[in-house]
Amino acid sequence: MAIAPSRRETRILATAGSGDPLLTARLLGRIHHPRALPTLLETLALWEGRKVHAVLAADDRLPLFGPNPWTDLDGHGDTPLYSLDLTLLSSIRRRRGLPGLGSFRDLHALLVREVAR
């Protein structure tokens, strides 16, 4: 699962082990509750019946460290239901794609790269 927050929106792409999309979403850029992301990850793990491996990928304009709702995730990196890693998205080019949702190619490429690690 790849999560790409920006000031304007948060894009989410969750795929099955085969790479088939399970969930694509565009949500608000700002988290309004500190448990929002952990709860989403836990929900997907419980729904699918297996641990979720997620990557929080921000571009270099969005601080992942310092006073920021995304930094309240300390202690949430590896739980029985999910693992969460942090990375930069700036090296992956964005393109337009799915009508209404835009492109998720950069997130798909990120998932492929993270699985290969």
- Is domain 2-116 annotated with CATH 3.30.420? yes
- What's the mean per-residue pLDDT of the chain? 76
Q: What is the pTM of this model?
A: 0.70
pLDDT at residue number 97 = 45
Half-sphere exposure of 3 (CA within 13 A, CB side): 22
pLDDT at residue number 69 = 57
pLDDT tens per residue across span 48-86: 999 999 988 876 665 554 455 555 565 568 899 999 988
Task: State the average pLDDT over residues 17-34.
Answer: 85
**Distance between terminal CA atoms of the chain?**
15
Which of residues 10 and 89 earns the better pLDDT score?
A: 10
Task: State the average pLDDT over residues 77-100.
Answer: 69
Domain residue extents for the chain? 2-116
HEC per residue, 18-54: CCCEEEEEEEECCCCCCCHHHHHHHHHHHHHCCCEEE
